Structure 1
Amino acid sequence: MQRLISFSLLLVIGLSISGCSLSTTQPQDSKITSLQRLNVDAPARRILDIQTWQTASGTKVFFVQSDELPMLDLQLTFAAGSSQEGAAYGLAQLTNSLIGAGTNKYNADQIAQAFEALGAEFNQGSYRDMAILSLRTLSTAELSQPAVELFAEVITRPNFPVQAIQRVQNQLLASFEQQKKIPSHIANRALFAQLYGTHPYAHPSAGTEQTIPRLKRQQLADFYQTYYNAHNAQLALVGNLTRQDAEAIAEQISRALPQGVAASKTPQPQTPKATHLHIEFPSNQTHILLAQLGIERGHPDYAALFIANQILGGSGFGSRLMEEVREKRGLTYGIYSSFSPMQAQGPFTISVQTRAELSEATLGFVRELLSEYVQNGPTEAELATAKQEFLGSFPLSAASNAAIVGQLGAIGFYDLPLNWLETLMQDVQQLTLEQLNTALRNHIQPDALVVVTVGPSVPQLPLPEPVIRNAQPQGHQH
């Protein structure tokens, strides 16, 4: 899944507050702030001064100058995810993974050794919406300049060696065999197929055992030429360099990329009918996934749905689902819910694993809990706690330049306002119970869920009675 992916929502590439310098200061001899003080004080936060422009070759650039560390983080984001590969499932990820496997000038070992000698890191990633190429290097000119030159060589002149393609294909086929033994992988794959049907999000980004062996070098080269171009990219830079330096680096990289056009946006999916697919699997446990289409990135109800989900099942042990399903009924070790917004509507999902003989009772109970939550919503106390936890953790998610560059990449790719992170925090602070409840009822339909269960067919047991925890006896002391 695309950070399902990862996502609880996690603001996916999105839960960070910005910046370069703290907006509040503290005396040098200040002590650790008490938890009680955190409850009442507004969280200190870093404010991004985002500068943006477009290169001569058509690449949009997002830059934040950050002088605290002698580092440069750079990220290119392309609309080159698996939603662009058509029926050649796995083509986007295979192409991305082999950028760095060699150029006409260097082989893979030489590339790795050269980056290592410069103290630089090269990374890549491919998902349903996007593909990413990134560089981290020291910002001193004698190291950053050769690192950027090497990065530009690697990402703009890949030669996709046949032996490397075959090696990765074999690795993927081996991983597919392993995944057949993992019920969570089976469930996730089936869920996306059921939820998205013929939409580009339906198939796994890694491809399938049928499609991967058929992919040829020319297909990789063509996909690269079509989607890894200057007009289909956003470039994010964060680090200890000037605007002039950033402009020079951006022009150097953008000019070296192939010319082309921006990819079309992924269309919205059709709403699927409510279904329940059961997949037989020999196990003592049954994996249960419940899902429906959620929202796309940038939706105005994002803040309300994020907080609503935190209360429902996104906050771990403090969530309603965890309290009711694990703590009171003992049905599972963990149950979680998440919104995973993407360029098109991403999934809203609830996932739980339980004893096979309690799978039907657990599924029915989770449905009841979701229906009750959508109908009645959270309490004022739950909303206040969720806000407090969000606002307390929000500034910590931009603690590094690498985190900030990821946020810039998301802002650019999803065409979000430059002040999106600040606006999100303000929206959460001002969120009312009425707004949250309205968003819940507008976006979650408990009677229209797509359900996938993976496990054995066994005789079923009834739902256990809840455990009533006795109040602590008076006079007991810790």
Structure 2
Amino acid sequence: MTYRMLVAVALFAATTLAQAAIKIEHWTAPSGARVFFVENRTLPMLDVQVDFDAGSAREAPDQIGVAGMTASLMDAGIGSGKNALDENAIADRLADIGARLGGGAEADRASFSLRVLSSPAERDSALAILRDVLAHPTFPAAVLERERARAIAGLREAQTQPGSILGRRFTELAYGKHPYGHVSTVATLQKITRDQLVSFHRTHYVARTAVVTLVGDVSRADAEAIAQKLTAELPPGAPLPPLPDPVLPRATVERIANPATQAHIAIGVPALKRGDPDFFPLVVGNYALGGGGFESRLMKEIRDKRGLSYGAYSYFSPQKSMGLFQLGLETRAEKADEAVQVANDTLDAFLREGPTDAELQAAKDNLINGFALRLDSNAKILGQVAVIGYYGLPLDYLDHYAERVQAVTAEQVREAFARHVKRENLITVVVGGKAS
């Protein structure tokens, strides 16, 4: 079978699976890890993701940057003695068997993923590497120094970019001292030590907070064995205390001078936890407000009617604690005040009135019709099931997505936005033009 034929088969198989109900099997491994499994025999592939409660929100306030550096160095060296592999040997072995390993950390979690052929020889070899990456990383000091230098150089470059300046400052104002407000600086990166990485790994990469997700061409028995092998050598550990809710900020506007010709604008507030009952009204409403591209109200008011920007958007980013609602756009620096006013007026009108009947129906149609595209590959299914598993969403979440979207009313949208997006808490940051 040619590569082109294999791709065609993969797309057909994934689309077929997306259109059918996705059966998610769930159990707890003997190690204590939670496991979520979708069997798909159509292609000889296995996709695996392992998530840990090891994101930046778990860093100590004096160790900002440690979570990300820990995750980024876990595949830099594994094992000991004759079984030791450096980063080049790891990459070579994975390449030899056609496997792909990825990983990284965000605020809530650290995630590691593996894609490999499901034939036992290739599968078992790749899984052995992933097991050691999770349980036995060596954190080579020389690689830490190299990656620290790279991170500092990247940060210094980012600090000259208005979009990056906006994101960092907006996060600081929105979250204050909450763990989601952690922002690395050159000083915090320079303070990171190898001992801190080892300690963070030992404390946070533990079996009882691990969530293993498997999608692909293996049996339930194989999946059980794989999940246990991946987590058996981790320390047992214990669940960490829940993250606190952030103290909602008081409404403020901050303008940061920048010589860029374009002003970058963000307006928003911490607003939504995973599993909140308002999730579907907020998703549907946001599609009408700013999530629907050229059909959204923000785009029509800011781009189409006034030509203030090439694009405007809004989104909710639910997390364990309160993730952001954010509205954003770019405009000419001299038009920043006008653009902010139009964005606020549009948002205020939406908060008062909610979507029109036409906007509501268009949002539902687009969300429902586009949902299959979010499940049209094993990798996308893996990502969706991993979210369900890590955040404790119902196992039938994907099966009932369309009907829950369809059931949303305009009144539910208005009420949900009133609960989660309040004018007295909205932060506005403008980078470009003159400072406030």
TM-score tier, shorter chain, comes to over 0.9
State the shift of 1:21 in Å. Answer: 8.0
Percent of aligned pairs with the same amino acid: 37
What secondary structure, in the 3-state scheme, does the structure 1 residue paired with 2:345 have?
Answer: helix
Give the aligned partner of residue 259 of structure 2.
282
Give the aligned partner of residue 90 of structure 1.
65
Q: Is the 8 A contact 1:21 1:47 kept in 2?
A: no
What secondary structure, in the 3-state scheme, does the structure 1 residue paired with 2:85 have?
Answer: coil
Q: Is the 8 A contact 2:301 2:342 kept in 1?
A: no
Give the aligned partner of residue 30 of structure 2.
56
Instruction: Return closer, same or farther for 1:390/1:21 CA change in 2, 3 Å cut-off.
Output: closer
State the shift of 1:424 in Å. Answer: 2.9
Q: Does 1:270 align with 2:244?
A: no
What secondary structure, in the 3-state scheme, does the structure 2 residue paired with 1:113 have?
Answer: helix
Q: Which amino acid aligns with 1:199?
A: H
State the shift of 1:292 in Å. Answer: 1.2
Residue number among 429, 434, 438 corresponding to 2:415 in the alignment: 438
Deviations 1:428-469 (A, max 9, x none): 01112221222122222234311111112299xxxxxxxxxx
Give the aligned partner of residue 5 of structure 2.
none
Instruction: Return closer, same or farther for 1:20/1:284 CA change in 2, 3 Å cut-off.
Output: closer
Q: Distance in 2 between matches of 1:111 and 1:68?
A: 29
Give the aligned partner of residue 74 of structure 1.
48
State the shift of 1:376 in Å. Answer: 1.0
Deviations 1:109-147 (A, max 9, x none): 000000010111111021000000111100011211111
Give the aligned partner of residue 96 of structure 2.
117
Give the aligned partner of residue 177 of structure 2.
198
Q: Distance in 1 between matches of 2:197 and 2:158?
A: 25
Give the aligned partner of residue 427 of structure 2.
450
Give the aligned partner of residue 161 of structure 1.
140
Residue number among 308, 325, 331 corresponding to 2:285 in the alignment: 308
TM-score (norm 2): 0.93
Q: Distance in 2 between matches of 1:139 and 1:118?
A: 11
Q: Is the 8 A contact 1:22 1:47 kept in 2?
A: no
Cα RMSD of the aligned pairs, angstroms, is 1.6
Q: Which amino acid aligns with 2:65?
A: G
Instruction: Return closer, same or farther for 1:363/1:21 CA change in 2, 3 Å cut-off.
Output: closer
Q: Is the 8 A contact 2:264 2:329 kept in 1?
A: yes
State the shift of 1:20 in Å. Answer: 7.2
Q: Does 1:236 align with 2:213?
A: yes
Q: Does 1:408 align with 2:385?
A: yes
Residue number among 97, 101, 107 corresponding to 2:76 in the alignment: 101
Instruction: Return closer, same or farther for 1:190/1:22 CA change in 2, 3 Å cut-off.
Output: same
Q: Is the 8 A contact 1:356 1:458 kept in 2?
A: no
Q: Which amino acid aligns with 2:314?
A: S
Larger Rg: 1
What secondary structure, in the 3-state scheme, does the structure 2 residue paired with 1:290 have?
Answer: strand
Q: Which amino acid aligns with 1:434?
A: E
What secondary structure, in the 3-state scheme, does the structure 1 residue paired with 2:398 have?
Answer: helix
Q: Is the 8 A contact 1:98 1:160 kept in 2?
A: yes
Q: Is the 8 A contact 1:370 1:446 kept in 2?
A: no
Q: Is the 8 A contact 2:74 2:139 kept in 1?
A: yes
Q: Does 1:179 align with 2:158?
A: yes
In structure 1, the gaps of 5 or more residues are 1-18, 24-43, 460-478
Residue number among 327, 332, 354 corresponding to 1:377 in the alignment: 354
Q: Is the 8 A contact 2:207 2:237 kept in 1?
A: yes
Q: Does 1:152 align with 2:131?
A: yes
What secondary structure, in the 3-state scheme, does the structure 1 residue paired with 2:272 have?
Answer: coil
State the shift of 1:381 in Å. Answer: 1.1
Q: Which amino acid aligns with 2:75?
A: G
In structure 2, the gaps of 5 or more residues are 1-12
